[in-house]
Structure 1
């Protein structure tokens, strides 16, 4: 707030910015000098240009400073990443401590509190140079420096000195000194990509300028002097980076000496201005704890596995009302606080288990060939929150766990893979939901023909073959066939139910997309399963869907497991809990469940059967259930390209895929092709589930399935025959089900990931679909 004219006295030592306006005569003299300077500049730049600047110069209220958007883990405190073209965090002037305010005045403009915002002699020198063709002069006052930045931010391209003079004049006339200094400290670059004093304090010292922070975390005067020294030259001269490196003391020896010299200059200014006593100045020591140069500073998280999470977060937000149709920089540079669903404890466990290059990974997958790749997604039952996501080690690289829409609306990601026998969980759920007991027996020979689905000895794909053997064969109960993963039984079950019913159950549970293999198309095409009219998906899939021929995303599979873990209550998977800006809540999480149609008896039978799968058993006392799966290479019966382990406890669901980056069969470092769901992804899943539940400190007794025992030898009555669907003649496909890239959707992106603000799923039944060629899953 300004002080009205009362005299010529000014106490610079108080640092308050209060000043006494000059007498009327002195003010008129300043005005005359300004007009002379401006007139001289107009002579060199043109009256038309001068009039333009007088009428339309931007003021601070017109500026939209890019401010970093920060992404946090679910606790809202632990930072995951910082986004934005500029690393900037705006702090209001009255919330800053005095260290930076005083140091910047001592460094850049010691007459700041008394001048009129313009260095008159400097403006006149610039005017004369402009008229005579001499070298342009730079601004000297803090107000002029801010004016220069303000004009540049708005893309003005005429005479810079005229621009600075007019804007500085208007600024000083309209705003208090405190406001101007606040604008300046939040605007200027400090090097290393840090804009504004708060970003600089964090980047160079890991501290803050906020006065309400603990004293030990606040920027000290000595540290502020190091930062303010850098304003003179924030970055090294690109034409001579070694000889003119600027003032960053960690850049090289020359830069450090520059910094020390400038620091001493600022210290002397602090004494002259009364900010420091001579004794205090003598006791100050130059700080040696400046952080090393980090090329990723201000963008932490984007280069790590969590960088892939950011892609999903942004994709999800672009489909909310708050961000729909906005340019990409609106989110990145908007100064938002995004709190994700990712729990840091769960994420750490996911990376420790699924990053097979780490020593923390299970021994079975550690140190294997370089083309091995794992992906893991964990979802919280009942909420759909993605608690952990590992799609690869490079946050800027390929995503093997899912797919998302980029800022251009294009689908990105490699996260769909044929699920093999892990997809049988949806067959089983559809069966028990249709009152087919897990004790019902099926004919399960080693191989079996299915003429109605085109699987005969004479057909190109041949009959269905069991990849495994079970003691119960050739007559097995459904639960036995599930544990042994018998393809013959599940192919027959899919025929009995109809492919539409199996796909519908998968869709209701959480599988939003499936990739169809089309004859003549080298890449599988994504089919949106939810809310689509029957005619749009008819003919895209075949009975082989029941044994996992068609690719699905790891994240969708995890959400399906979460639905079963929640007793058949499906929640929308999502990555965002909230978005705020200051006190404004921009996006809020809404949790809505949908019942998939499984009663208590059906859920009990599902849990009981899947809990008998050996690979799903945990050693930590938790009730658990799951299913393995593999998909073979070509017509091979011994080499696998894709392996899976999916499952859940009452508190956590997860899906793990293990395959290769180049589509070649999995081969161990010892040359063996014996890699299966139980031996590859199984150990990853078990280690993750045990470590994650331990980190969450949950009581397993509160998450018991509570399923009754179903005696293994009790016969079950055969239910009424389910009418078989009418399907067209089989048309075997010839394309490989292993894509190299997720294709761009044929329609505009309106599907997944769904916004967290609308979580109600559309669960319309799908039609029966035609058959295609399959390969043998396990």
Structure 2
């Protein structure tokens, strides 16, 4: 049991109220007690030759003027698991009355045992310093807790006499104006503890993974023994950089000598707590030095940059800077504002994304592991119906290029590397536009190996030539749209785009979630970003050609993932976003708004879309989930045989995923054994499948709640079906047979810079977005895949001359 806090101090007789809730001495005669202070200061003034003491008294800042930067913490979606700590200093301010007693008592025992009864200045220490100065002796120091805080508040550095004088004056003023409790609260929230931690709360987290808050569960609160370890650190928070071995400080994780320093100081603090009445002798004897100090995490303060989630943080900050609450604030306002940001990122989904898409890891699929260093993957997963980005992998270095998207930096500039030609993966939007406009997936098209399209300028006489299919399909020359989709027949899809119109294809992509496309501009080496938000396909169709239906124009992985999430939600579009909640203290500053927009697909249209894309064998999962997807490939420059971009996109009822696999330098994808036939089914598809299988398993979701609805095919014959699904295709795919220069997508900054204020499309209907909304079970069995010969991906095509 703790003893009463009325025991004697080692510096004098006991005074009531020296414990966890100390009371100030009754009827404190402040003016009478100022005389020793004035004499001490005068002596120091005279000894220093600084007679203009009133300058210091009049000009020093007070604690109310002190703006302490407070670290902002970014959390995963659970609101408990930290993702990153931001800010110039790692500080989390906790009001004095919300702290438990452990740190309050330990710091007084460690740094200033007369704190509750002194007047902010150690008189004898100041007089010693003044006398030593007058007589030419060694410089002396004396610092109470109040003086130490004054030094920080007034930004006083060095050991000069003028600094000591100013420190004394500020401390004097502090003690006269503020209660002891307030001063101790200032101090505990300000003093450095090492490891980049400023203040007791940041230190508790950095060293023990605990909190000083007394309202936290007991198991998470800082104990007395742990507080003593932290308060020992104040004497020397960091190792001496000039002699780190000889003067390592008091962090026990720095080595044997530092640990011994810590243990010795810990014993000193323990004895002081007994003398002050904070501990009984028996309690002190029962205390053990804690062995639970966390190892030094060299990456802790780099967590927003050095790890894959560093790019998530970039998107979080970018998103918040566009909100009314944070717009037009200084660059460091969010980082140093002490906010608590809860993201949409699900830790389980993020882990699955990194395990699959980081192809340098042993956890990546075998097909992409151990490949050349210039290979790079990107993966984004969005929750259908909410737009929450659950997983984001744009690269392994959060301070490097973002291959999955782009964001606004602190200067308001758009930066990123995420625009890639989607190839045949873009045909999902063509297909959705077709079924929206009443074109059945069982409609037949003339699908020869080669076909001219004079209206779009694709003839034998044109520089680009006619449209060619990459490989023959069993259905040719007369193919149903679903067969042409699975076989990725360019001839059919070029004709479909002409039939629908470029504007309708772009309109569908925009409504689904593609907010940007990169268009070729005559005379420009790099494609330019076209902002599609708030614009119809007709508004921008003139900047694109019929080749848009074949995926010639670059889009981002993030946009593609959101488009897939819209189809996974039955045609209900939600805005993709990274932030769920922002708070500071008890104040809620920002909260996501979940609304959906109906993009115009009725149940039959959605069912035909699901049904067709589940026939793509690369999209079939091994864990029993209904899944739909589409591969894509885009060639490298003018090459007929080599590819620079491969894709796999699609969805289950619970998750969408878009995966891009390409190169960091724009060169062709070549395997380590020299194979240059790298396609979507062999490149991006294994990553996509592994991710969805692991993510759905980690989230412990029931696949029966997310079954697709089977189409009715009104006024048409029943679709073909079989009870035995065919195996997945081999990784080898046919070599494309026609050249297609690829629009460059290498600029790290999209151009022109998009406007943050661009409006999103206005919804037709809005409603709260459901999370994990079950989809009805199918009434018929899953249909088979086409034969392996129908799996060839399309040949990317030349753009029209401009």
**TM-score if structure 1 supplies the norm length?**
0.88
Q: Structure 1 residues 647, 89: closer, same or farther in 2, change over 3 A?
A: same
1:500 pairs with one of 498, 503, 526: 503
Correspondence 1:16 to 2:24: no
d(CA) in 1 for partners of 2:410, 2:133: 45
Whether contact under 8 Å (2:639, 2:741) holds in the other structure is no
Q: Deviations over 1:446-473 (max 9, x none)?
A: 1122222222223222221111321111
Q: Deviations over 1:231-290 (max 9, x none)?
A: 111112222222222222222333233223322322222222222333443443333332
Whether contact under 8 Å (2:50, 2:162) holds in the other structure is no
2:564 pairs with one of 561, 565, 569: 561
Whether contact under 8 Å (2:604, 2:711) holds in the other structure is no
1:749 pairs with one of 748, 751, 755: 755
1:466 pairs with one of 463, 466, 469: 469
Shift of 1:609: 1.5
2:234 pairs with one of 231, 234, 237: 231
Residue in structure 1 matched with residue 118 of structure 2 by the alignment: 115
1:494-533 correspondence runs (5 A): 494-532=497-535
d(CA) in 1 for partners of 2:546, 2:50: 79
1:767-778 correspondence runs (5 A): 774=798
Residue in structure 1 matched with residue 793 of structure 2 by the alignment: none
Residue in structure 2 matched with residue 180 of structure 1 by the alignment: 183
d(CA) in 2 for partners of 1:39, 1:712: 103
Shift of 1:711: 9.4
Q: Structure 1 residues 233, 414: closer, same or farther in 2, change over 3 A?
A: same
Q: Structure 1 residues 512, 159: closer, same or farther in 2, change over 3 A?
A: farther
Shift of 1:564: 1.2
Residue in structure 1 matched with residue 582 of structure 2 by the alignment: 579
Whether contact under 8 Å (1:571, 1:759) holds in the other structure is no
Indicate the SS of the match to 1:88: coil
Whether contact under 8 Å (1:523, 1:743) holds in the other structure is no
Whether contact under 8 Å (2:252, 2:258) holds in the other structure is yes
d(CA) in 2 for partners of 1:668, 1:506: 33
Residue in structure 2 matched with residue 306 of structure 1 by the alignment: 309
2:378 pairs with one of 375, 379, 388: 375
d(CA) in 1 for partners of 2:530, 2:132: 68
Indicate the SS of the match to 1:70: strand
d(CA) in 1 for partners of 2:548, 2:537: 17
Correspondence 1:96 to 2:120: no
Q: Deviations over 1:180-224 (max 9, x none)?
A: 112111110001101111211221222222333344433233322
Residue in structure 2 matched with residue 660 of structure 1 by the alignment: 663
Whether contact under 8 Å (2:157, 2:163) holds in the other structure is no
Q: Deviations over 1:33-67 (max 9, x none)?
A: 3233444566658666x445434533333322222
Correspondence 1:67 to 2:73: no
Indicate the SS of the match to 2:314: helix
d(CA) in 2 for partners of 1:649, 1:162: 70
Correspondence 1:672 to 2:675: yes
d(CA) in 2 for partners of 1:363, 1:681: 12
Q: Structure 1 residues 124, 545: closer, same or farther in 2, change over 3 A?
A: same
Correspondence 1:589 to 2:592: yes
Structure 2 portions without partners, runs of 5+: 1-5, 7-11, 720-738, 766-795
How well do the aligned residues superpose, as a CA RMSD in angstroms?
A: 3.1
Whether contact under 8 Å (1:404, 1:411) holds in the other structure is yes
Residue in structure 2 matched with residue 340 of structure 1 by the alignment: 343
d(CA) in 1 for partners of 2:714, 2:156: 75
Higher mean C-alpha deviation, range 605-614 or range 161-170:
161-170
d(CA) in 1 for partners of 2:124, 2:356: 67
2:607 pairs with one of 604, 607, 624: 604
1:390-539 correspondence runs (5 A): 390-532=393-535, 537=540, 539=542
1:691-770 correspondence runs (5 A): 691-710=694-713, 714=717, 736-747=742-753, 749-750=755-756
Q: Structure 1 residues 352, 715: closer, same or farther in 2, change over 3 A?
A: closer
2:547 pairs with one of 544, 549, 560: 544
2:164 pairs with one of 130, 154, 161: 161
d(CA) in 2 for partners of 1:34, 1:773: 86
Indicate the SS of the match to 1:328: coil
d(CA) in 1 for partners of 2:533, 2:210: 48
Residue in structure 2 matched with residue 726 of structure 1 by the alignment: none
Whether contact under 8 Å (1:643, 1:659) holds in the other structure is yes
Whether contact under 8 Å (1:203, 1:298) holds in the other structure is no
Indicate the SS of the match to 2:189: helix
Correspondence 1:631 to 2:637: no
Whether contact under 8 Å (1:380, 1:562) holds in the other structure is yes
d(CA) in 2 for partners of 1:111, 1:424: 77
Shift of 1:301: 5.4
Q: Structure 1 residues 196, 645: closer, same or farther in 2, change over 3 A?
A: same
Indicate the SS of the match to 1:110: coil
Q: Structure 1 residues 748, 685: closer, same or farther in 2, change over 3 A?
A: closer
Shift of 1:503: 1.0
d(CA) in 2 for partners of 1:668, 1:39: 80
